[in-house]
Structure 1
Amino acid sequence: MKLIVQIPCYNEEATLPSVIAGIPREIEGIATVEIQVIDDGSTDATVEVARRLGVEHILVQKGNKGLARTFQAGIDNALNAGADIIVNTDGDNQYCGSSIPDLVRPVVEGQADIVLGDRRPGENRDFSRGKRALQKLGSRVVRNLAEIEVPDAVTGFRAYSREAALSINVMTRFSYTVETLIHAGQRGLTVASVPVRVNAATRPSRLFKSTKQFMSRQVVTMLRSCVMYRPLRTFMSVGLVMAALGALPILRFLYFFAIGQGDGHVQSLVLGGVLLLAGYITIVIAFLSDTIATNRRLTEELLIRMRRLDPAGVSTDVQIASESDAER
């Protein structure tokens, strides 16, 4: 089996050598281990450092595309390079490369399609109390949306089987972590978690400027995922709630109308009618959205089959750095 460890990078020249040095080159059940660096428009010497360290695959984004698109570009290129397993780790040396054998073992043994590196955020004292609480809350929400057990939903340390990687199609720009889990749950993929070791933080996260920004973007991602992957349940729930709320003022009006005081409560009838109409329209949208979602699933199946037949046919907005590029 061939394993490709991919490292999305943005200005990581200082930490990249430590990340690469920690990646084991011999793993039980794996015949070949290769490293892939995806540079997201770095302004430092990240690409030169990767080339000097002998990285087998170097991709250079045309400008800063964001973590999600960088991750997707790496997945596409790793599939094209014939990877049977793809491990994603961070360029800031947050995760210990020595945990990679534990991460890939369930995939090698055929027990899981996706394996998450559990940082045990509730016990990690490097995280603030507020961040630990938010991590727990976020994982609980993702578990409910994806219907899979996930102790650490936003970990970037992950292993994907080839079949799981073929199904990945990230739509957001901010982060792939939550969206890919919800997608995996909807596709019925087996997701497992294993404890992993982490290193001390080398710098603040560049993905978000504050916890508030991180939470707001993750909430938007979750809402978008609900609409994309569970439109019938999402819109139907909203529609039924609106219809139920609309029925209350109408019943109130009918009560007063029955006792001869209806003239003074027409506003209840108007409010109830508006809410009932809005609920009806939302329920109609639920069925239309479910039809669109069915078409999207068929399109995804077609894309997966195309990737199986020709992984190189998937276009990415990247350049593959080579030795000839360095000479020029």
Structure 2
Amino acid sequence: MYRKKSIGVAIPAYNESKLIEKTLESVPPYVDKIYAVDDGSKDDTAEKIKNFDDSRIFLIQQKNGGVGAAVTAGYQKALEDHIDIVAVMAGDNQMDPQYLPDLLDPIIDGKAEYTKGNRLLNSKYRKGMSAWRSLGNYTLSFLNKIASGYWDLEDPQNGYTAISNRALKKLNLNEVYKGYAFENDMLVKLNIHDISVKNVPIPARYADEKSKIRYSRFIVKTSFYFVKALIWRSWNKYVVKLNPIGAMYLSGSLLTVIGFFALFALDVLYILLGFSLFGVAAFSEILRNKFLDTKFSKEVEVTPLNE
């Protein structure tokens, strides 16, 4: 128990034989349950978890499904056990347990229902993070702001998080993205339910293990996800819920489409019939001379609006 709240820690692990024991032994004594999830490891990660002497550990073994699948498996078991707050500490020992209270306190104090570590606060906190990785994180932070709607949030790929039981119950964990964009998708899904999220400054810790994310490929792949996530969030939060903003989104999109086709139709009329409306003849002439090699060229007289 921590401040009269039951605490669970989900530990996703894939081929973490080298560091899983070090991670398990670092979990603070006030944590009530440890949900160690072996995500189809090919090494002896699962065996080391089984043999680790700690009665709090509950081993979950599953086929390899990605970090999101592993974390949600821990979340689901924590919900079954009625745990008040569930944190995530990856099996590579990169998440310093001394900062766990910093994630738990805002939830207990009612200031947030989901907390995330932030390594991008200053150069001191980014110590050990390469320049390329920092650039990748800043790029993903910007894209995530647009997709998730949490504009004050930084370092979305930081997996050191904590979430309340109440917030977890609102999510359909089966629909959450299971790959490396899991953290981003969690934020998108949380925003639909207006869950309060708070960034918590936590330094990066890199030692024997390096991140498995390849940012060059990840940013390109995830960019397509961000586009879909933005559309999905806008539709489900504003249109489905009949929010006035949804009406603005729909009307704006509809007017944009109508405007595009209207200009196209007017240009076609001008090219074929020499007939144009609303003073767009000049624009049509420019387009026609620039892109079309046609014998219908003619001078266009534009009447000033003040006449």
TM-score grouping bracket, smaller chain normalisation: 0.7 to 0.9
Report what 2:179 is aligned to.
174
Cα distance in 1 for residues equivalent to 2:42 and 2:267:
65
Structure in which a larger fraction of residues adopt helix: 1
How big is each residue's C-alpha offset from its partner over 1:127-177, in whole Å with a ceiling of 9 and x where there is no partner?
A: 332332231222122223322221111110000000111223243231310
CA contact (8 A) 1:115 1:158 kept: yes
Distance (Å, rounded) in 1 between the aligned partners of 2:251 and 2:207: 44
Matched, 1:57 2:58: yes
TM-superposition CA deviations, 1:278-306 (whole Å, max 9, x none) = xxxxxxxxxxxxxxxxxxxxxxxxxxxxx
**Residue identity (%):** 22
Shift of residue 196, structure 1, vs aligned partner: 1.4
Partner residue of 1:305? none
Contact 2:6–2:83 (Cα < 8 Å) also in 1: yes
| AA of the residue aligned to 1:4 | G
Separation of aligned partners in 2, 1:15 and 1:222: 32
Equivalence map 1:234-313=2 (5 Å): 240-254=255-269, 257-258=274-275
SS of the counterpart of 1:248? helix
Alpha-carbon distance change, 204 to 144 in structure 1, aligned in 2, over 3 angstroms: same
Q: What's the counterpart of residue 14 of structure 1?
A: 18
Displacement, 1:21? Answer: 2.3
Q: TM-score, normalising length from structure 1?
A: 0.70
Q: Which blocks of at least 5 consecutive residues in structure 2 are unaligned?
A: 240-245, 289-307
Q: Provide the residue aligned with 1:128 in structure 2.
A: 130
Query: Of residues 157, 161, 164 in structure 1, which corresponds to 2:164?
Result: 161
* Two-structure CA RMSD over aligned residues (Å): 2.7
Amino acid at match of 2:42: T
Structure 1 residues 196 and 224: CA distance shift in structure 2, 3 A: same
Tell me if the contact between 1:178 and 1:221 (Cα under 8 Å) persists in the aligned partners.
no
Whole-angstrom distance in 2 between the partners of 1:165 and 1:249: 49
SS at match of 2:32: strand
Larger RCO, structures 1/2 (Cα 8 Å, 6+ apart): 1
Contact 1:99 1:197 in 2 (8 A): no
Note if contact 1:122-1:135 (Cα within 8 Å) is conserved in structure 2: no
Q: Which residue of 2 aligns with 1:94?
A: 94
The structural deviation recorded for 1:236 is: 6.5
- Whichever residue aligns with residue 94 of structure 2, its letter is Q
Query: What letter matches 1:249 in structure 2?
Result: F
Pick the structure with greater CA Rg.
2
**Can you list the C-alpha shifts for 1:25-66, whole angstroms capped at 9, x where unaligned?**
13xxxxx532110110112221222222225211000x2111
Match of 1:47 in 2: 46
